[in-house]
Chains A and B, each alone.
Chain A
Amino acid sequence: AQRVTQPEKLLSVFKGAPVELKCNYSYSGSPELFWYVQYSRQRLQLLLRHISRESIKGFTADLNKGETSFHLKKPFAQEEDSAMYYCALSPTDKLIFGTGTRLQVFP
């Protein structure tokens, strides 16, 4: 079965603390994985994708095929990072989303 699991509904940290949003997936093929973010009163938008291997707004995510994980990390959280984060898996022509993790960064 194709599935994305985000075990944490809410993650609260203080500004400057490291952040790790967990994502595990179930997929028999070679996965395309993404992180999407939704800031307050904004549209859902792409944050990063594993194939790009880039850092966006200080966030990185590494695909670990052995652990079937694609955790999102940032070494020092900022208040503006507060948002809803969704991990997504892409089999052909669709995205399968996790249930999302709300990140709250306190000053």
Chain B
Amino acid sequence: KAGVTQTPRYLIKTRGQQVTLSCSPISGHRSVSWYQQTPGQGLQFLFEYFSETQRNKGNFPGRFSGRQFSNSRSEMNVSTLELGDSALYLCASSADRVENSPLHFGNGTRLTVT
């Protein structure tokens, strides 16, 4: 089985721009979660989708949004980028509820905001 695929691997944007990150989960997985990883804050939960519905959301501003499509692929969007948004964004998929089945992580998209 192919693993979780995130595209692109690297992105460089300037302040004020917006960005869209993509995640393809493992085939058959219906839950997709997004995490932001930074040296200072570590891994922080952004949101989780299951069957196209957002089930849970972390403490991030409304500039961070996401969606999930009928094929379980997910996108994450960040608008009006700030320098502090520079981070590694990780996507993870799971077969069932997060607390019941392991998360399978992608390699991440490294976003640099200048």
Residues of A within 8 A of B (CB): 32, 34, 36, 43-46, 49, 86, 90-100
Return chain B residues, CB-CB under 8 Å to A97.
35, 42-44
Partner of A44, one of B45, B90, B99: B90
**Complex interface: chain B residues within 8 A of A32 (CB):** 99
Binary CB contact string for chain B from 77 to 114 against chain A (1 if under 8 A, 0 otherwise): 00000000000001010000111001111110000000
Residue of B nearest to A6 (CB): B42
Can you report 16 residue pairs joining A to B where beta carbons are below 8 Å apart? A32-B99, A43-B3, A43-B4, A43-B106, A45-B105, A46-B102, A46-B103, A86-B42, A90-B99, A92-B99, A93-B97, A93-B98, A94-B58, A95-B35, A95-B103, A98-B42
**B3: A residues at CB distance < 8 A:** 43
Chain B 27-39, CB-CB to A under 8 Å as 1, else 0, gives: 0000101010000
- 9-residue interface stretch from B11-19, B48-56, B61-69: B48-56
Known: A92-B97, A94-B58, A95-B33. 7 other contacts (CB 8 A): A43-B107, A44-B90, A45-B104, A46-B103, A95-B43, A95-B45, A100-B43
CA distance A100 to B41 in the complex (A): 11
Q: Could you tell me the distance between the alpha carbons of A36 and B97 in the complex, rounded to whole angstroms?
A: 17
Q: How large is the interface on B (under 10, 10 to 19, 20 to 34, 35 or more residues)?
A: 20 to 34
Kindly state the separation between the CA atoms of A58 and B55 in the bound complex, as whole angstroms.
35
Quick one: given A44-B105, A46-B103, are A93 and B43 in contact (CB under 8 Å)? Answer: no
* A44: B residues at CB distance < 8 A: 90, 92, 105
